[in-house]
Amino acid sequence: RDRAQQTANPVDPWEDFNREVFAFNQVIDTYALKPVAQGYDFITPEPVQTGVGNFFSNLGEIRTALNSVLQWKWVNAGIASSRFLLNTTLGVGGLLDPATELGWIAREEDFGQTLAVWGVDAGPYVVLPLLGGRTLRHAGALPADAYADPVTYVEDGTTRWGLRALGLIDYRASVLDQEELIRGDRYIFLRDAYLQRRRFLINDGETGADPFASGEFDFDFDDGDFAE
């Protein structure tokens, strides 16, 4: 497609601006975040990485539980709450994941998904500095999700920002291998992958008409292809 056709995409009317922010983010990732994540992945034993991932995933159960209540999904709220209690206690603060071993699986929920259930339109795709691509609805929900994150309430600033950095580095390390999936225009690939991932989450795993389809790619990702 030529550039005029790219910018005509109604899902991404701000593509020119988004690409500039995307390029900035790629520089930060290439020269800072990715090398640190590669070093972390190289020196950190797999069980430790699994424990760190479990820890942050466990904290996310609070967000899932709260947003499940707001969406009137009481069963999912109960499962997420039970997962948090079990993994925090028997799972040694969330480092272990006995809840999954018992088959207690909750669907991830955030405030962006809650707004979708409430009927708020997704709005245009926008790339945020450092934070990456989001729909406008998802971007607007980020402050509410921050309030549901226990790390926000850690009083010591050094500890709080240290936890933020560790979570970011651990996530970046977890998706290093997935870069091999990227084909063609990196911006378009990641945009469409994100939009399909969000549709999957909002629809609770149900497929159906894809309002985000750009016509260039026909992805068939499932829930495990991209970490959240």
Ramachandran angles phi, psi of 126, nearest 5°: -140, 140
* CB of 133 closer than 8 Å to CB of 191: yes
| pTM across the whole model | 0.82
Instruction: Kindly give the confidence (pLDDT) of every residue in the chain, 228 residues in length, as a single tens digit, with 9 standing for 90 and above.
Output: 445 444 457 889 999 999 999 999 999 999 999 999 999 999 999 999 999 999 999 999 999 999 999 999 999 999 999 999 999 999 999 999 999 999 999 999 999 999 999 999 999 999 999 999 999 999 999 999 999 999 999 999 999 999 999 999 999 999 999 888 888 899 999 999 999 999 999 998 775 444 444 444 344 444 444 333
* CB of 105 closer than 8 Å to CB of 79: yes
CA 192/CA 217 separation, integer angstroms: 8
Cite the DSSP H helix spans in 90-185. 98-101, 111-117, 136-147, 157-174
Instruction: Give the closest residue to 190 by CA, choosing from 18, 52, 33, 72.
Output: 18
CA 66/CA 56 separation, integer angstroms: 16
